[in-house]
Amino acid sequence: VLPGSRCPSERVDDAIHSTLMLRRQQFALLRLARGRAMSSAPMTVAVLPGDGIGPEVMDVAVKVLEHAGGLFGQSFNFKHAPVGGAAFEASGEHFPESTRQACADSEAILFGSVGGPVSEQHLPKWKDSEKNAVLGMRKAFDLAGNVRP
């Protein structure tokens, strides 16, 4: 690093901070547009970990939301509910009524993943689990699409 210049990590930190501040402003505008002021009641989020890597991803997603909420003055109530093969083991359905209700009572839904190994798709636990869970959710809440990484 040259004298008087900043190291790359400081520039990255500044860029991250600027991005977070912009996101904070966008988030505040979005919340106000929805008629709800920042820092009011906690936002309820349904967390549906599902199968495979879903539970691991959802654990991190919840931590990220909690951290972001702390930065932006927003708290969350998380409602965890089973979906996919995990739900089938407990209830015999891939998208049970209890999960549907948890989603209906929430303002947002974090959806992990559903489905099992290709070699086990013939088993009732996995047969049509993706279709039943994802399409069941789309139908129940009149959703036309989803956002994925």
Q: Give the Cα separation of 104 and 143 in Å (integer).
A: 13
Per the structure block, which two tokens stand in for 70?
A: 């702390």
Name which residue leads in pLDDT, 17 or 101.
Answer: 101
Q: Quick one: average pLDDT of 23-47?
A: 67
Q: Note whether residue 146 is domain-resident.
A: no
Name which residue leads in pLDDT, 138 or 2.
Answer: 138
pLDDT-based confidence at 149, cuts 50/70/90? low
Please give the mean pLDDT across all residues of the chain: 81
Q: Note whether residue 14 is domain-resident.
A: yes
pLDDT digits (tens, 9 = 90+) for 69-120: 888 888 999 999 999 999 999 999 999 999 999 999 999 899 999 998 889 9
Domain that holds residue 20: 1-38
CA angle 134, 43, 59 (to 5 degrees): 60
22 and 48 share a domain? Answer: no
This prediction's pTM:
0.71
CA angle 108, 86, 62 (to 5 degrees): 35
Q: Give the Cα separation of 137 and 93 in Å (integer).
A: 13
Q: Indicate if the alpha-carbon torsion angle 53, 54, 56, 57 is positive or negative.
A: positive
